Chains A and B, each alone.
Chain A
Amino acid sequence: MSALNPVEPFLRSDRIPHIWCPGCGIGTTVNCFARALIESKVDLNSVAVVSGIGCTGRVAGYVKLDSFHTTHGRAIPFATGLKLANPNLNVIVYSGDGDLSAIGGNHLIHAARRNIDLKVICVNNLTYAMTGGQTAPTTPEHAITATSPYGTFEPAFNLPHLLDASGAVYVARWTTFHVRQLARAMQEIFKKKGFGFIEVLSPCPTLYQRRNKMGDGLDTMKFYKEKSKVRHGAPTSEVGLTLNGEIIVGKFVDRDRPDYASLMRAQYVEALGDRYVDCSLSRECCEDESACSDEACSEFETTPGKETVCN
């Protein structure tokens, strides 16, 4: 038996090999994610990963955590319900650029506006990869895609700018070349309360890079290395991406404002006083601790003094 890879305990090794192509960067981001979890010493039982649909949407299926592969674009609203029902969870939304910013774009900006305590890792390969490399809202102008065979002419989203304007408390961009910085950024958003967003540029050699004659995965690493400029705190309006231009990376936004749950609690306390039952659903409400000693007990179903499912 070879030495255990340090990230192996974080993966569902019974699901390997994964579906990602050679040169794809998604696996690299997962490696960073696992390392960030190790470094941050977060209780893994409290971490839930929610993905949408697409190549990055498959991340939920490979991590050995409570993990939800939801519908296309809806990872964020699912995660919103999950987090509100159990505020003790650390909820990570791990999905792709098309999933999060096109079909899920409305949910993305509203979750940022509400400042729901979610950590969003957006792997941006600049295209819809799972379906064959079509134009995405992130595809840079003039890039060739399956549905823009003569070159894209739609302006693209500048995701950090969008999230900054929508109210995210943490916004950063890195590439899969910047593995240490990426893992560190992930650790930072794990710790930070509120809506955090990390955009990770990641190659899709099979579709995007090939069609645009940008070489393979290694060539893309060289491209990222040459074109990237670290500019922490750069105004997000200036970090838009172009086909071959420079890539501004770094931490652009790191600010504090109360998250949704804190605002909700404050408002209810002010309006209702003692009548407000601050019960994050079940957990603090479960007065009869002894009835809930079984770890598999459904605490929410526990009515004090009544027979419960865990008896």
Chain B
Amino acid sequence: MAIAMAAPRRLKMKADPSGVLTGTHFIDGDHACCEGALAAGARFAAGYPITPSTEVVERFASRVPTVGGTFIQMEDELAASIALQGAVWGGAKAFTVTSGPGFSLMMEHIGYAAMTETPCVFVDVQRGGPSTGLPTLPAQADMMQARWGSHGDYQIIALCPNSPQECFDLTIRAFNFAEEFRVPVMFMMDEVVGHMTEKVVIPPAEQIEVTPRRHTRSLASAYLPYATNGDLVPEIAHAGEGYKFHVTGLTHDERGYPNMTPQVQQKLINRLHNKIASAADRITLYEEEQIDNADVIVISYGITSRVAQRAIEMARARGIKTGKFRLITAWPFPEKQVRDLASRAKALIVPELNLGQMVREVERAAAGKCRVVSVSHAGGGVHRPDDILSAILEATR
């Protein structure tokens, strides 16, 4: 057996100041995301140019040589999405950045990261699809792909910022979650959030908490790469440290060796699922406002939450008790919270820049306890607040 540490490591560290651009900035969401990654300790990025995400890695390419790290532009998104994982096993914190068409190509390696428990971050600045779609215009239509896009059963974490400030703050959270749970984290921006310019405050490094890698303290001779202790997340070793470990995308046992039996599959896949599912309370971040006596609650995320805010205020001005619930964590879906909302309100209104993706989760959690109304939009722009207001008025009629 590996040396079992009595309690899972929860040690936090302060950010390395070399990567933290402390100050007040006027920058867009893409650039803020890059600064968040640097503050979180990311020192490796692999990318492939794609609108509207490229500014993230352009900034990284400019910044990282003076911070100490590497950017490489790979030959395609397949390569970028696996090069970053090589870097993780070499000891770096690493990420890649893309948009819909590239995200589709990366699915293979989101599955590999989930299976091999490689901590890493995939940023998807969503644009209109399917296929080449609307390269320069927003959508939120990759939300289900983020959850289910690679084959097989696995869990990921997905976060949805709605401002450049959150692009900074939540990118750090994304890296921290990736390290804590050894899971790929999807950072689900959209074209508008990526390209809108706002004030972004970057605090001093000592005020930024980063989660260190769950590095093993076991001796090489006793190290079992996929053995866990209590909290379902194994401890990692890096190449070159003498552990001589094996990593495979095949179903594997605690030694990391391929073992393709139904028994090992059961154990492994359930653990990969449960390590996230059992921690959902800690992972699900959300914002709520005036939900206590609400007749109608608008559930939204990303840029749509900014538009919904206007509709909510318009409804309140008309005397309608309107609550707001914003998904910051999309996956794992905040099921418990939405179930609770469904038991309070007459209707849940779900505007999103797709033809109905997260609304399915809302319906599932609501389980018929109240009406669930989708306010869909095919993307290419954002909702008109009036469209959301109409749905609110309609639901209270």
Contact = CB atoms under 8 A, between A and B. Distances in A.
B239 A81 contact: no
30 contacts: A12-B257, A15-B257, A60-B246, A65-B244, A66-B245, A68-B89, A70-B249, A71-B82, A77-B75, A77-B78, A80-B74, A82-B87, A82-B239, A84-B90, A85-B86, A85-B90, A86-B240, A107-B78, A110-B74, A272-B65, A275-B66, A277-B67, A282-B43, A296-B216, A296-B219, A298-B215, A301-B13, A301-B212, A303-B13, A309-B11
Nearest to B91: A300
A277 B63 CA distance: 11
Contact of B247 (A67, A110, A294): A67
Nearest to A50: B86
A296 B218 contact: yes
Contacts of B241: 45, 295-296
Given A77-B46, A81-B84, A296-B237, 5 more contacts: A15-B257, A68-B89, A81-B90, A107-B79, A272-B65
A74 interface: yes
B374 interface: no
Interface of B: 9, 11, 13-14, 16, 18, 41, 43-44, 46, 65-70, 72, 74-76, 78-80, 82-94, 108-109, 112, 212-213, 215-220, 237-250, 257-258
A85 B44 contact: yes
B213 A309 contact: yes
A224 B25 CA distance: 67
Nearest to B223: A296
A45 B240 contact: yes
Q: In this complex, which of B65, B72, B94, B219 has the most chain A Cβ atoms within 10 angstroms of its Cβ?
A: B65
Given A61-B258, A296-B215, A298-B238, A85 B91 contact: yes
A306 interface: yes
B248 A85 contact: no
Interface residues of A, number: 61
B258 A301 contact: no
Contacts of A262: none
Interface in A253-311: 264, 268, 272, 275-279, 281-282, 285, 294-301, 303, 306-310
Contacts of B92: 85, 281-282, 300
B9 A61 contact: no
Interface string A58-91: 0011001111111101101111111111101100
A18 to B, nearest CB: 11
Given A81-B84, A307-B11, A281 B44 contact: yes
B244 A66 contact: yes
Contact of A81 (B86, B219, B240, B246): B86
B242 A77 contact: no
A83 B215 CA distance: 20
A103 B318 CA distance: 60
Leading 5 A-B pairs by shortest Cβ distance: A81-B86, A85-B90, A279-B68, A81-B83, A82-B86
B86 A80 contact: yes
Contacts of B93: 300
Given A60-B246, A68-B89, A85-B70, A309 B212 contact: yes
